[in-house]
Amino acid sequence: MAEKKDILEEVTSSDYKYGFTSDIKMDTAPKGLSEDIVRFISKKKNEPEWMLDFRLKAYRHWLQLEEPHYWAHLQYPKINYQDIIYYAAPKQKKELASLDEVDPELLKTFEKLGISLEEQKRLSGVQSTIAVDAVIDSVSVKTTFKEVLAEKGIIFCSFSEAVQEHPELVKKYMGSVVPYTDNYFSALNSAVFTDGSFCYIPKGVRCPMELSTYFRINTAGTGQFERTLIVADEGAYVSYLEGCTAPQRDENQLHAAVVEIVTHKNAEVKYSTVQNWYPGDKNGKGGIYNFVTKRGICLEENSKISWTQVETGSAITWKYPSVILKGDNSVGEFYSVAVTNNHQQADTGTKMIHLGKNTRSTIVSKGISAGFSNNSYRGLVRVAKGAKNARNFSQCDSLLMGDKCGAHTFPYIEIKDKTAVVEHEATTSKIGEDQIFYCNQRGIDNEKAIGLIVNGYCKEVLNQLPMEFAVEAQKLLAVSLEGSVG
């Protein structure tokens, strides 16, 4: 009951509670993008030659590309890539012996965000612990529980560390799912990515705790370009969480990340995101431009990749977590709730590429638009020739609140095999007046009633989230929709 009360209290309180800025001493690169900046980042990170080569190749390829404006249902001015700081890191000593040496301001920041960097079990009755990799602007500041995980052979560290310590793994898998040639933003990311998380689960290991990365943009004028790589070897399992916030600023900041997942035989990766970048103010000023390429590949048979996302933040979201179902009998899942309010724009969905035999995929997408926002689902289901007995079910529901917003569905279905069974259905509607009336009648006011109905509407997706996240997500939904009624 107490929990519920909190949610309702939060509904009536502030809009974006993570909008504070922290005064951490930063080490930044000059504004602008050039080959020198790419070299500068690589040097800063003390990278081997092959890494720099990869970056430069990506950068040169990026120069030939044009910012894609022609298909997404998004409107934004051309981004000035010379007006972005590509590297910003908290100033600190080279090697950290313990947590005490971390800038206290930085610790405070993460505390404020509700992320504990100290390795103590959380109270509040939650049994499982979570290992966190905290990334602020361009670098990873702390990875918790590393030692505990290492005992099981699990590698969980920042991407830069992985480049230094596990180059053979990074070399083998980086760019194998999202090559730098994939699209405009993945090319940009490949050239200038600064950090991110790396995770390798060895054969037959079931990761004992949830792994998580927490991203925070802090410095003004920076862009965040992180890269995450998760590899689950034969029979491994991991559940991975990702969270993100940014301070409230009038300018638009760019976030262009790449996430790659590889699953081997019988392995499973569950990736959950609660995306809560600063969405801009009520008039659409400021906010994060979120251009993310997320893709997983079920490399061998009987593997499974599942994406769950709750998208509430960002001024612009451009994100299509995808699964390539290469191994026979592999399974791909996509569960999404996307909420847009005020002047937010979201164009998000998934791609399910069926290549292997007997592959299955499920897509459940729930869009909610309010205010002046536009919310689009864009998803692709492709069954390649020879992908026998592929099966897909997609369901996309949209909910409109008010008559100034838009909800759109753009599914692409491409089938080249006669044994495929593919179903897609979509609906668009508003919250029934009778439902609200029913709540009103029982003394629940409009705003709370909407929160209640929306949570019910999203239940299918929220159920897929790990417990800690689910509570968070429910609160977030209520806050995001605050002020959208009446």
Partner 1 sequence: MNVIEKMSSTEKLVSEFQRVKSSLKGFLSLREKAISEFERVGIPNRKNEEWKYSDASALFKSEFNVEGLKLKVGKHDIDKFLVPNLNASVVVLVNGIYSEELSSLENIPKGVVISSFAQALAEKPEIVATHFSKYADTTNDAFVALNTAFASDGVFISVPDNTIVKNPIHIINIISVGLPLVKGDKEGFLIQPRFLFIIGNNSELKIVESFDASSSQAKNVCNSVAEISIGEKSKVQYYKLQNDCTGVHLISSVNAHQQKESHFDTNTITLNGDWVRNNLNIVPDAEHCETHLNGLFITCGNQHVDNHTLLDHRKPNCESNQLYKGILDEKSIGIFNGKIFVRRDAQKTNAYQSSKNILLSDDATINTKPQLEIYADDVKCSHGSTTGQLNEDAMFYLRSRGLSENSARNLLLFAFAGDVIEEIQIEPLKIYLAELVNQRLKK
Q: Which stretch binds partner 1 (CB under 8 A): 28-36, 266-274, 340-348, 397-405?
A: 397-405
- What residues from 52 to 81 belong to the interface with partner 1 (CB under 8 A)? 70-71, 73
- Total binding residues for partner 1 by CB under 8 A? 37
Q: Using the rule CB under 8 A, is 410 a contact of partner 1?
A: yes
**Alpha helices by DSSP H, 15-112:** 35-44, 49-64, 104-112
User: How many residues are present in the chain?
Assistant: 486
Q: Which of 408, 450, 469, 480 binds partner 1 (CB under 8 A)?
A: 408
Q: Which of 6, 9, 36, 414 binds partner 1 (CB under 8 A)?
A: 414
Whether 297 contacts 262, CB under 8 Å: yes
Cβ proximity to partner 1, 288 vs 337, nearer residue: 337
Least CB distance from residue 429 to partner 1, whole Å? 6
Q: Using the rule CB under 8 A, is 362 a contact of partner 1?
A: no
Least CB distance from residue 68 to partner 1, whole Å? 10
Site of tokens 């070399």:
171
Burial (0-12, 13-18, 19+ Cβ within 10 Å), 423: exposed
Q: In this structure, what is the dihedral angle of CA atoms 86, 92, 96, 98, given to the nearest 10 degrees?
A: -120
Q: Which of 129, 428, 435, 440 binds partner 1 (CB under 8 A)?
A: 428
d(CA 438, CA 150): 54
Site of tokens 């993310």:
292
Q: Which stretch binds partner 1 (CB under 8 A): 45-53, 90-98, 310-318, 413-421?
A: 413-421
CA 384 to chain centre: 27
Q: Which of 413, 444, 452, 485 binds partner 1 (CB under 8 A)?
A: 413
Q: Using the rule CB under 8 A, is 174 a contact of partner 1?
A: no
Least CB distance from residue 279 to partner 1, whole Å? 20
Q: Using the rule CB under 8 A, is 450 a contact of partner 1?
A: no
Q: Using the rule CB under 8 A, is 284 a contact of partner 1?
A: no
Q: CA angle, 375 as apex, 371 and 381 as ends, to 5°?
A: 165
Burial (0-12, 13-18, 19+ Cβ within 10 Å), 219: buried
Cβ proximity to partner 1, 258 vs 407, nearer residue: 407
Cβ proximity to partner 1, 152 vs 385, nearer residue: 385
Least CB distance from residue 385 to partner 1, whole Å? 6
Instruction: Name the token pair of 437.
Output: 């009336």
d(CA 296, CA 351): 10
Cβ proximity to partner 1, 239 vs 373, nearer residue: 373
Q: Using the rule CB under 8 A, is 112 a contact of partner 1?
A: no
Least CB distance from residue 425 to partner 1, whole Å? 4
From the list 377, 364, 186, 372, the residue with the least C-alpha distance to 279 is: 372
Q: In this structure, what is the dihedral angle of CA atoms 352, 321, 198, 180, given to the nearest 10 degrees?
A: 80
Cβ proximity to partner 1, 155 vs 346, nearer residue: 346
Q: Using the rule CB under 8 A, is 405 a contact of partner 1?
A: yes
Q: Which stretch binds partner 1 (CB under 8 A): 7-15, 329-337, 399-407, 465-473?
A: 399-407
Tell me, residue by residue from 366 to 395, as one string, x for binding to partner 1 by CB under 8 A and - for no binding.
-------------------xx---------
Least CB distance from residue 336 to partner 1, whole Å? 16
For 169-188, letters b (16+ CB in 10 Å) and e give bbeebbbebbebebbbbbbb
Burial (0-12, 13-18, 19+ Cβ within 10 Å), 460: middle
Q: In this structure, what is the dihedral angle of CA atoms 461, 462, 468, 473, given to the nearest 10 degrees?
A: 110
Q: Using the rule CB under 8 A, is 398 a contact of partner 1?
A: yes
d(CA 125, CA 435): 34
Cβ proximity to partner 1, 49 vs 66, nearer residue: 66
Cβ proximity to partner 1, 108 vs 404, nearer residue: 404
Q: Which residues bind partner 1 (CB under 8 A)?
A: 70-71, 73, 385-386, 398, 400-430
